[in-house]
Amino acid sequence: MQVEGLTKHFPVERPGLFRRNRGVVHAVDDVSFDLAEGETLGLVGETGSGKSTIGRLLVGLETPTAGRIRYRGQDISHLSRKEWRGLRREIQMVFQDPYSSLSPRMTVEQLIQEPWVVHDDLVPRQRWAARTRELLDQVGLPVDAGQRYPHQFSGGQRQRIGIARALALEPKLIVCDEPVSALDVSIQAQVINLLTRLQRELEISYLFIAHDLSVVKHISHRVAVLYLGRIVEIGSDTEVYQQASHPYTQALLSAVPSIDDVDTAAGRRIVLAGELPDPMAPPPGCSFSSRCWRVEDRCRRERPALEPRGFDHPSACHYAGPIETPPAAEPRHQRAEGRITTSSVDDHANQ
Amino acid sequence: MGRQLLNSRPNDPRPPVLVVEDLWIRFNAEGRALQAVGGVSFAVEAGETLAIVGESGSGKSVTAHAIIGLVDIPPGEITKGDIRFLGQSLLADGGRLAREVRGREIGMVFQDALAALNPGFSVGYQLAELFRAHQGLGKRAALARAVELIDRVGIPNARQRAGDYPHQLSGGMRQRIAIAMAIALDPAVIIADEPTTALDVTVQAQIMELLAKLQAETGAALILITHDLGLVAAHADRLAVMYASRLVELGPARTVFQRPSHPYTIGLLESVPSRSRDALELPAIPGQPPDLANLPPGCAFQPRCAHSRDRARCLEERPALQRVDDQQQSACHFFEELADRRQRVLAGA
């Protein structure tokens, strides 16, 4: 799959008299990446970064405003509902909350078999029962699960049902949108292991969308970091996690507490000032400039392109580079006066 | 106020502010009795951060709610045990004292700040009301205190923001206001129940930093209820691990991370993807947590335990929390055998 200049804008009516203040949210802006067979690309970012919208665009739940999505050479960005039907078989999606995507009135067996009614050439009817058992076994559910209803299962098991249902059509690509975020830690690990095992066995590609950086690192071969609809950095998991060159990636990595932190001085944390800017009015130039501690005048004027900039992997920062001497040595209250501010919040956050 | 009571026991340099003693809570629903909390004991000292971790249904939130008298009775029922705040029972007399200290000497921060704030009043007014009602301040003085407090929790233009209604603020700002309400009356204990779960990571970091700063300034004890082990590693002094209504391990956070003394803690730490170790397969804990209406007679973790090997003692006898060393406690019959496995966690195998 190749994605080129993918852009999605949502028109928004701001509340106001006569609704004159129409605005546009740039949910996804000029995003490009490739996804190879059997590969996992992780998309990380905060709320409003556009990661879920990218997932929805890839499976045809949204139509792009601009840009192209090519699947095995075929442009699929503007297919009709009917044309999608053939492709649906190859591109599937797994959601965060499987409960809302599984009809409560159908047994697990019926849920798994439902796609075969539409795609009636895939599994001959006499093989349905056997194939269902195979799928249940493949995702680690007991064989008798087929006769039960979704509400009779725990969250982790329901996610397995969702995965079995996605697998029923033997897809080549699965878009996983926060598939383990709602699960407890010990159950999370079971589902992550299941996804990696299935990838090995079936050579599926994953687009893995999540906000948990550790989970994404574990499962992904390559990782793209998103901020306000744009990719700010993309590379192999080691490149992004160990040689991050974009200040947002660096801040994100340092902001997320990890169990490794028990051995690290907590003072090394970069706490970003402010919150995400209004997506209807992103700052001019670099969209991260309003929160960046390395900001220069140029950043506020000129949007940085996603380029290698002397590193092995591209970064969308004019001043891409390794993190400067971490402010660890200074006491916390002094740090606030330097470039890296601590808990103070910028004015723009609420305007 | 709290601090005076604390100082009234000069012989003990650091008496616990809050003691939970053998607490048992049951919920009766649809003819089934769910054991939500089963014999939990711990103490919290002034100025320390105790994190209580556990998965859904482990009883961590119910324990916290019991401390502030927010367990609905019925269907809830506290069948045994006590909670003492500065030596006085919070449960006696139908929970009279719990209601009295709630929001004053014990402050609370919840996951959803919007639920803690009244949508119909400006945030400044809501904060000022606390000072008027509890400290008898006049309208003007109370509002001035409110503005001061809004500034203290790191919100710029505090005077202006005081006139904002909760819905006009972002999630992070609302959580700051909720924290302001929790610390307004200078509590001795702050209970934060998943305070950052609903927030984005960069905002999460801001909120945790703020909580730590305020705690250092006020000397309050912080009870941090969370499922996020990363948060615990970064912020907790001590750690209590709960599983299926029971406390299974208690100790200094660092020690518990480096030398866990309960198979569940070991499994939990191993199953979290770490950025420093990279294994193909995560060592997941097999199976599911038990049904709280039907807990096994022995160890609740036994059915999923890699270490039990179906030994009779694990199946039959419920393990009590016992001393591992001066600071660490474990509820495993065979914690001494776990030394090897701890090493494995340490080595990152």
Each residue's pLDDT tens digit, B127-168: 999 999 888 899 999 999 999 999 989 888 899 999 999 988
Task: Please report the ipTM that was assigned to this predicted complex.
Answer: 0.77
Answer yes or no: is A264 within a domain: yes
| B246 and B212 housed in the same domain | no
Where do we find the tokens 């808990």?
A343
The domain total for chain A is 2
- Residue A326 reports pLDDT greater than 70: no
B201/A211 touch (CB, cutoff 8 Å), yes or no: yes
Domain extent at residue B83: 2-120+165-236
B154 and chain A in contact, CB less than 8 A: yes
> Helix A155-167 and helix A185-202: axis angle, to 10°?
20
Which helix H or strand E contains A133, and what residues bound it?
A: helix A128-138
Answer yes or no: is B185 within a domain: yes
Facing residue for B205 by CB, picked from A185, A196, A255: A255
Q: What are phi and psi of B287, to 5 degrees?
A: 75, -170
Residues in chain B within 8 Å Cβ distance of A186 = 55, 267-268, 271, 284-285
Facing residue for B284 by CB, picked from A189, A255, A257: A189
B209/A269 touch (CB, cutoff 8 Å), yes or no: yes
| DSSP classification of residue A315 | B
Q: Which residue of A has its CA nearest to B274?
A: A214
CA distance A218 to chain B (A): 6
* A82-86, A111-115, B226-230: the lowest-pLDDT one: A82-86
| B215 and B269 housed in the same domain | no
Provide the CATH number for the domain around residue B176. Answer: 3.40.50.300
A274: its two tokens: 């402010």
| B177 and B309 housed in the same domain | no
- With pLDDT > 90 as the criterion, what percentage of chain B qualifies? 48
- Residue B313 reports pLDDT greater than 70: yes
B202/A217 touch (CB, cutoff 8 Å), yes or no: no
Answer yes or no: is B329 within a domain: yes
Domain extent at residue A254: 244-350
- List all residues of chain B from 53 to 92 with a beta carbon under 8 Å from chain A: 55-56
Residues in chain A within 8 Å Cβ distance of B113 = none
Give burial (CB, 10 Å; 0-12/13-18/19+) of B257.
buried
| Average pLDDT of the segment spanning B60-70 | 90
- With pLDDT > 90 as the criterion, what percentage of chain A qualifies? 45
Which of residues B177, B210, B236 is at a domain's end?
B236
3-state class (DSSP) for residue A43:
strand
A350/B274 touch (CB, cutoff 8 Å), yes or no: no
B271/A343 touch (CB, cutoff 8 Å), yes or no: no
Answer yes or no: is A259 within a domain: yes
Answer yes or no: is B153 within a domain: no
Residue of higher predicted confidence among B337 and A344: B337
Give the model's confidence band at A331: pLDDT under 50 very low, under 70 low, under 90 confident, else very high.
very low
Which of residues B236, B268, B296 is at a domain's end?
B236
Please give the pLDDT value at position B337.
86
Each residue of B85-109: pLDDT tens digit? 998 899 888 888 888 888 889 999 9
Q: What CA–CA distances, in Å, run from A103 to A100, A115, A151, B15? A: 7, 13, 10, 55
Q: For all residues of chain A together, what is the average pLDDT?
A: 83
Q: What are phi and psi of A231, to 5 degrees?
A: -80, 125
Please give the pLDDT value at position A22.
64
| DSSP classification of residue A304 | P
Amino acid letter at B340?
D
Preceding amide of B75 cis, omega within 30 = yes
Answer yes or no: is B125 within a domain: no
B25: β partners: B37, B78
Each residue of A28-86: pLDDT tens digit? 999 999 999 999 999 998 888 889 999 999 998 889 999 999 998 899 988 888 888 88
| B271 and B341 housed in the same domain | yes
A185/B154 touch (CB, cutoff 8 Å), yes or no: no
Answer yes or no: is B152 within a domain: no
B5: its two tokens: 């009571």
Answer yes or no: is A183 within a domain: no
B231/A257 touch (CB, cutoff 8 Å), yes or no: yes
| B90 and B222 housed in the same domain | yes
Give the model's confidence band at B111: pLDDT under 50 very low, under 70 low, under 90 confident, else very high.
confident
Q: What are phi and psi of B37, to 5 degrees?
A: -130, 130
Please give the pLDDT value at position A13.
65
B208/A192 touch (CB, cutoff 8 Å), yes or no: no
Each residue of A243-268: pLDDT tens digit? 899 999 998 888 877 777 665 544 46
Give the model's confidence band at B277: pLDDT under 50 very low, under 70 low, under 90 confident, else very high.
low
Q: Classify the C-alpha dihedral B16-B194-B275-A29 as positive or negative.
A: negative
Give the model's confidence band at A340: pLDDT under 50 very low, under 70 low, under 90 confident, else very high.
very low
